[in-house]
Amino acid sequence: MKYQNIREEELKSRVGQDYFGKYDHAEIIKDIDFAVKEMATDYQLPTTDYAVLSWHFTMERLLQTGESNRAFLVLLMGILYVIVGFGILGTVVMMTNERIREFCVMISLGMSRMRLSAVVAVELFVKSLIGTMLAVVVTAPIVLWFSENPIQMTGAIRDTYIQFGMEPVMPMAVHAYIFTDQITTILVISLIAAIYPVRKILKLKLRDSK
């Protein structure tokens, strides 16, 4: 037998070099997952002592962990959006109730309710846009710093990373869509919250200013 009395890690390395070295090229595999899966299905080693399996089977536990982490992150983001939404709504309600007399005066002077409600909605949108822009200006340098200087894992977490063949660091991703998605979500929440002052103005009675 070709491979005898060697450790598991060395066996993996030798099998990879002897049988899969020619596939290790970006122009050939392109989509690594697909290529490895096809190789595992079609390729047969010249021995019955070992079998070729794709990483989907050999690292199934890691895949399950990744799926559960993604589901948890979606749930966490939903909770954060609810908190942010209620915060914006509370601010809008307070601002609207404090400006009731101002709205009544402007309506009394001849400003139409539709135009006044549109002005208030645009004002809220602009304030939200300025707030999100300031947030990006403040957080972007921090994200860039940690993307170049990732957090180093220590202790048991570091050992777990190494066990799964990953570098024990936690870098921050720098992608434009991360910022644009959050800005879009906050602006949409702000527009939904603007429904309250618009309805309030459209139904406002002048005697409510007293």
Give CA–CA dist 19/145, Å, rounded: 41
Does residue 9 surpass a pLDDT of 80?
no
User: Could you tell me if residue 66 is inside a domain?
Assistant: yes
User: Could you tell me if residue 120 is inside a domain?
Assistant: yes
Q: What is the DSSP letter of 174?
A: -
Q: Provide the whole-model pTM.
A: 0.63
Give CA–CA dist 17/24, Å, rounded: 9
Give CA–CA dist 187/182, Å, rounded: 9
User: Range of 115's domain?
Assistant: 60-209
CA atoms within 13 A on the CB side of 178: 10
User: Could you tell me if residue 1 is inside a domain?
Assistant: no
Q: Helices (H), strands (E): how many in the chain?
A: 10, 2
Q: State pLDDT tens for residues 161-204.
A: 787 777 788 888 888 888 888 899 999 999 999 999 999 988 88
123 and 159, same domain (yes or no): yes
User: Could you tell me if residue 198 is inside a domain?
Assistant: yes
For residue 114, give Cα distances in angstroms to 98, 108, 193, 208: 20, 14, 17, 18
Q: What is the DSSP letter of 193?
A: H
Domain count for the chain, please give it: 2
30 and 126, same domain (yes or no): no
User: Could you tell me if residue 2 is inside a domain?
Assistant: no
Q: Tell me how many degrees the CA angle 51-53-59 measures, rounded to the nearest 5.
A: 130
User: Could you tell me if residue 100 is inside a domain?
Assistant: yes
195 and 95, same domain (yes or no): yes
17 and 74, same domain (yes or no): no
25 and 91, same domain (yes or no): no
CA-closest candidate to residue 169, choices 193, 137, 146: 146
Q: State pLDDT tens for residues 78-126.
A: 999 999 999 999 999 999 989 888 888 888 888 888 999 999 999 999 9
Bridge partners for 152 per DSSP: 169
Mean pLDDT across the chain: 78
139 and 48, same domain (yes or no): no
CB atoms within 10 A of CB 184: 12
